[in-house]
Amino acid sequence: MNPVEVGATSGTAHPELSAAAWQSASAFALPNEVRVDGVPIRYGVSGSGERDLLLVHGYRAHHMWWYRLLPTLEARWRVIRLDLSGHGDSGHRDRYDVDAWIAELLAVLDAAGSAQALLVGHSMGGRISTVAAAEHPDRFGGLVLLDSMLRPAGSISLRAGTLPPTRQIVYPSRDAATARFRLRPPQPQTPADVIRPVAEYSVCPATNADGWTWKFDQRGIPPIDNDRVVAGLTRMPVPLWFVRAGHSLVVTDEVAAYARTALPAASTFITLPEAHHHFVLDADDDCVRLLEDLHGDLAASVRPHGRTAL
């Protein structure tokens, strides 16, 4: 299963989602850029904490998935966030794979002057983060996986190859595009005022036609190499926290049962019983309480900003 977190459907438009009532998308743009293999990667740094935290979004998502948690995080951490290539305002590639995305994480850390960070990934971002933390333990003090799918080795085939020519779903106006925004997989209606900034940032003018389209690469983004994820888990050298949404359509009971056996013995497994897959958006109170409860343990896994290893 490859969950789609953002997409266009033929559903009924939300009348509340009027562009006139929204802020300009430029208000949400990440201010900094670093090039990785010639592709521009947008990132931002905020917060006054003495330790660094790197946020990695999921499939067809972008950094705005975290916006409701930022005030809490910024009070205790120096928060680094990015749009992965193929997502948000970052550039697109002819090929995507976990190594390219990990190179982007490391390049953003370098550009932000971060020697070590707590790595937090949602959904596909957690799968990328698992491989990154396993293969670059010097850069990450701890790993937090938020409702990330885990499957046994050999159970998911890896789709590869060059992407097809550019294609875009084009809508006649910004209003029409943003009105088609939906969370994938589906979950109970998230309030319109919560969705607005995320939907606003998700669209842009179409390149080869009049109208508006999605920012994510619509040619298709392949799944993460599952065997690399499993291999990373088996040798994970940093502390790991796995947070599951109780009503998730991604981390089902079956996936959760496997995760309990696959995670390193010292890992922490947590369930938010009433949450759905996109709980970083619509269950921010639960997330805030969880982060506050875990803060001491999370912070203990990461060196203060600028301090070198002993």
Report the C-alpha gap between 185 and 278 in whole angstroms: 9
Rg (CA), the chain: 18
The Cβ of residue 30 has, within 10 Å, a number of other Cβ atoms equal to: 20
CB 82 within 8 A of CB 108: yes
**Homologous superfamily, domain 28-153+225-300:** Alpha/Beta hydrolase fold, catalytic domain (3.40.50.1820)
Which pTM does this prediction carry?
A: 0.90
Give the residue carrying structure tokens 């998502």.
61
Domain boundaries, the chain: 28-153+225-300
3-class secondary structure per residue, 209-220: CCCEEECCCCCC
- The pLDDT of residue 164 is 60
Give the residue carrying structure tokens 């994820």.
229
**What DSSP character marks residue 185?**
S
Angle (nearest 5°) at CA 251 between 162 and 161: 5
- The pLDDT of residue 221 is 87
Enter the tokens of residue 159: 């789709």
- The pLDDT of residue 57 is 98
- The pLDDT of residue 154 is 80
Low-confidence stretches of the chain (pLDDT < 70) are 1-26, 156-166, 306-310
